[in-house]
Amino acid sequence: MKKIAVVALGGNALLRGNEKGTIQEQETNTFNTCLSLTDLLRNDYNIVITHGNGPQVGNILLRNEAGYNTYKIPKMPIDICVADSQGGIGYMIERMFRNVLTEQKLKRNVVTVVTQVLVDKLDKAFDNPTKPVGAYYLKEEAELLATVNNWIFKEDPGKRGWRRVVASPAPLDILNKKIIKELVKRGHIVIAGGGGGIPVFLDDNKRLDAIEAVIDKDSAAALLAREIGADNFFILTDVPKVYINYKKPDQQALDVLTIAEAEKYIKENQFSKGSMEPKILAAIDFVRNTGHEAIITDASMLADSSQGTRIVK
């Protein structure tokens, strides 16, 4: 039987930091990323792809505001915006991957699963929302919106304005996990868990309801990898390896990183909390709960198993 890999695409896999975010830019980046992923297919893996959605869902929220202010089009809540981004990004990855498969003369089906992720409405993250979403506002605008919508705003550290913040609760369960596992075992390329998944919770009557939150995409990807019995968990980012003393004269690339070493470096604040630290924490979670390896690397390095940083027990 083929091995199963969950591959978490970083934001740069779809959109580079210096780009405007046009569909042409995103399609080019996505095609090149999918081309790199064929190396896993050739190395006897069946794959599940997860992805970020930060810039895309941010744009959807901006359209929400613009549509309401100009035409009074009803605003949609965050769960619907995340679902919209899952569908749109999933479609783009699916189409680009089909083109790659045709070019490479490989035969696989590609399917997108719009994925709900269960959270606890009593998660402590709801006591202190920290995840910024949507547009920047003047302080007076933010205060008015907070009063009208019962939203929470915080000032941007870069002094660009005030932004709404929502909670980032821990993912508890991937609701489509059985379907995803069945599809990937049959050899289909599955795109799932986009943007960390659509956050839902169980109400007092055990009915699913939506909640205003954003789930960390790497944490959700690690949970998905665990729940479908993945053999490896790949986290793709914009650097070939994990570094300590990053961008300093004594910068050091890490080939292998044990859980104990990773936790030590986290305490030393070696990893950026907004980028590398969540990836390290997700890798630790997967390795600790499965005993299998997680690999953090750039997509272009997937052809060479000696590249990247391997996180092990």
Do 214 and 142 reside in the same domain of the chain? no
Do 18 and 156 share a structural domain?
A: no
225: its two tokens: 């990898």
CATH of the domain at 182: 3.40.1160.10
Q: Which residue of the set 10, 12, 176, 193 is catalytic? A: 12
Q: How does pLDDT run across 92-126, given as a tens digit for each residue? A: 999 999 999 999 999 999 999 999 999 999 999 99
Pair (300, 208) in one structural domain: yes
* Co-location of 189 and 298 in the same domain: yes
Note the pLDDT tens digit of each residue in 228-258.
999 999 999 989 999 999 999 999 999 999 9
- Would you say residue 124 lies in a domain? no
Q: Is 267 a catalytic residue?
A: no
pLDDT(144) > 70: yes
Q: Place 1 in a pLDDT band, splitting at 50, 70 and 90.
A: confident
Query: For the segment 177-212, what is each residue's pLDDT rounded down to a tens digit?
Result: 999 999 999 999 999 999 999 999 999 999 999 999
The answer on 253 and 162 residing in a single domain is: no
Which of 48, 30, 127 minimizes the C-alpha distance to 286?
Answer: 48
Given the residues 52, 88, 279, 308, select the one marked as catalytic.
279
pLDDT of residue 183: 98
The predicted pLDDT at position 274 comes to 85
Q: Per residue in 256-271, pLDDT tens?
A: 999 999 999 999 999 9
Distance CA 147, CA 151 (A): 7
Does residue 38 fall inside a structural domain? yes
- Residue after which a domain boundary falls, among 140, 166, 192: 166
A 10 A CB-CB count for 204 gives 5
Q: Are residues 138 and 236 in the same domain?
A: no
Catalytic residue among 11, 52, 193, 197: 11
Do residues 201 and 299 share a domain? yes
Cα–Cα distances (Å) from 302 to 14, 38, 41, 93, 211, in that order, read 17, 9, 11, 18, 37
Looking at the fold, whether 290 and 152 belong to one and the same domain comes out as: no
Same domain, 114 and 10: yes
123: in domain: no
List, for residues 287-311, the tens digit of each pLDDT value. 999 999 999 999 888 877 678 999 9
Edge-to-edge order in the sheet of strand 152-155: 131-137, 162-166, 152-155
- pLDDT category at 55 given cuts 50, 70, 90 is confident
Beta carbons of 167 and 126 less than 8 angstroms apart: yes
Find the helix or strand (DSSP H, E) in which 55 lies: helix 54-71
Residue 95 lies in a domain: yes
Per-residue pLDDT at 309: 97
167 secondary structure, DSSP code: B
Q: How many structural domains comprise the chain?
A: 2
Mean confidence (pLDDT) of the chain: 95
154 with 283, same domain: the answer is: no
What is the C-alpha to C-alpha distance for residues 242 and 309, in angstroms, rounded to an integer? Answer: 6
Cβ(13)–Cβ(89) below 8 Å: no
Active site residue 185: no
**Are 106 and 135 within one domain?**
no
d(CA 50, CA 71): 34
What's the pTM? 0.95
Catalytic option among 10, 54, 64, 131:
131
| Rg, Å, the chain Cα set | 20
- To the query of whether residue 279 is one of the catalytic residues in this protein, the response is yes
At residue 305, the pLDDT reads 61
In a domain, 82, yes or no: yes
**Residue 16 pLDDT class (50, 70, 90 cuts):** confident
Please check the confidence at residue 11 and state whether its pLDDT lies above 80.
Answer: no
Structure confidence at residue 21 (pLDDT): 86
131 is catalytic: yes
Options 217, 232, 241, 308, the catalytic residue: 217
Asked if 105 is an active-site residue, the reply is: no
Percent of the chain with pLDDT over 90: 89
Residue 149's domain spans which residues?
129-166
